[in-house]
Amino acid sequence: MFAYKVVMVGDFATGKTSLIKRFVDNSFSEEYLSSIGVSISKKVLGNSTMMLWDIEGRTEFKPIFKQYLNGAKGFIIVADLTRKNTIESIQEHIKTSLSVVSDAPICIALNKSDIKSDFSVNIEQIKGLSANIISVFKTSALSGDAVEDLFKQLNAKIIKEIAC
């Protein structure tokens, strides 16, 4: 069995922590608690352990600390479907992540799909932002929609790359 690191990246309050809680514990809390620094969770998947680094969300005043990204085997970039600025930040998060680990696979989680949005999102345009993007998911930490698929698809890609 081996363990590897996946880093959750995104603006503040996009639901990074909630996605991890849904995946790891199959739970959800309505209470918002902002992550400070980094929190690490783990999930055993077959013969591997996914170490999930939940890092503090970026704000316009506080960038993501690149040292948290070191050693990542993959990234999940999370945006909030109800906040257009978080969708617009995806490109910056890709750039930051790949500046530290240039060959890591990326999944995009467009979270809060259970809430009606005032704007539409072009999934194909998001997929085209980087060759490293393996999938874009519309997720809901509240309902659990696409959460398992998000993490399991990234896991499969990482396992395949490690095995090669």
Task: Report the chain's terminal Cα–Cα distance, integer Å.
Answer: 16
Longest dimension (CA), the chain: 45
Per-residue pLDDT of the chain (164 residues; tens, 9 = 90+): 789 999 999 999 999 999 999 999 999 877 756 556 689 999 999 999 999 999 987 655 556 678 899 999 999 999 999 999 999 999 999 999 999 999 999 999 999 999 999 899 999 999 999 999 999 999 999 999 999 999 999 999 999 988 76
> By C-alpha distance, which of 118, 89, 106 is closest to 154?
106
Split into its structural domains, the chain has a count of 1
| Beta partners for residue 161, in sequence order | none
100 token code pair: 């530290």
Show the domain range for 44. 2-163
Q: Strand, helix or coil at 151?
A: helix
pTM to 2 decimals? 0.92
